[in-house]
Amino acid sequence: DFLADNLLLLGITLPESLEMIHESAFVGCSSLKSITVPEGVTTLCAYVFSGANYLEEVILPESLKTIGGSALAGCVRLKSIEIPDSVTEIRSGAFNGCTGLTSIDFPASLTVIGSRAFYGCTGLTSMSFPEGITKLDYEAFYGCTGLTEVQLPDSMTYFGYNLFQNCTGLQSINYPADL
């Protein structure tokens, strides 16, 4: 509760002994601008930075495996983020409403992008997914009006409904040949 109530928190140094950042740890820290998640953390739980609307920089460790549901939802000033090669899953709503997000690099290790993970990320313009990703859940990119081009790999086995619904700028989607 202390962190959520602290509206003047600009940055924080987390201890190297962390393995997980628990649910809602920094929710509502509206003045937080930058954070480096220490090596050793394997999971960002749900809502961990949700509503940190001044957050501009998040540095994630190579130990990270999962980005939890709505973990960075509403971080409107976040322009880009490097997802480490160790991440296998981006859960539901993880980047929901990150309207400032213009680019994202998906690691080769990624297999699942959850429902509404990038819902309303209007700043995204194009993306390609690594070979090995198998599932894009429902409405994962709903309302990403800045998207113009999408390249999907042959490894895809599951496409959720309304995946690119209301992506009004989308001009081309390259689907796997045997879809």
Which tens digits make up the pLDDT trace of 92-146?
999 999 999 998 889 999 999 999 999 999 999 878 799 999 999 999 999 999 9
Please report, to the nearest 10 degrees, the dihedral formed by the alpha carbons of residues 63, 66, 69, 70 taken in order: 40
pLDDT tens digits for 67-86? 999 999 999 999 999 999 99
**CA–CA dist 149, 160 (Å, integer):** 18
- pTM here? 0.91
